[in-house]
Structure 1
Amino acid sequence: GYGAFGIVFEAHNVFDHRKYAFKRISVEPNEKQIERALREFETMSPLDHPGIVKCSGAWVENPPMEWQMMSDIATSARFPSSGMTV
């Protein structure tokens, strides 16, 4: 699904046979925005509620912007939005 702050992808792990959700948050390459995104993870990770997806990891990537944009467009075309928001 899409939201104001990112895009969420669903994945199936072939090793543990569990479903996972990956949230990609696009931020400007500055320390303040990166810290804000990591703070979201720190806030969400201790939450334990059946209505909230459990956060189990976070990382920062620096792919070329063109690659990231093309990847998002291609993925969005393959997996159209179901109307859900992030």
Structure 2
Amino acid sequence: MNYGTLKSLNGILGNLQKDAAVIGLTIAGLMIVVYVIIIMFENDTNVVAHQKRWENLRKVFLCAALIAAAGALISFGQQLGSALHP
């Protein structure tokens, strides 16, 4: 069997795990930027629409925080694991 593909996939996953916190923060920032741009293009001045936009923005911030925290947690776990098992 040819394990070259599995080795390269394992290498890619290893690199992603090493940079998990940076990837999480980048994705979180991009989510916020995209949603803010969407808000800028909306012209609805209705009070209900305004409240809905802020509600959705809060959800985006929560999702962004969860993604960033998950990335940081993975990175912390890997550093802790490598410290315990040299």
**TM-score, L = length of structure 2:** 0.29
Write 1 or 2 for the structure with the bigger share of helix.
2
The two structures have a TM-score, normalised by structure 1, of 0.29
Greater RCO structure (CA 8 Å; 6+ sep): 2
Larger Rg: 2
Q: Name the one with the larger strand percent.
A: 1
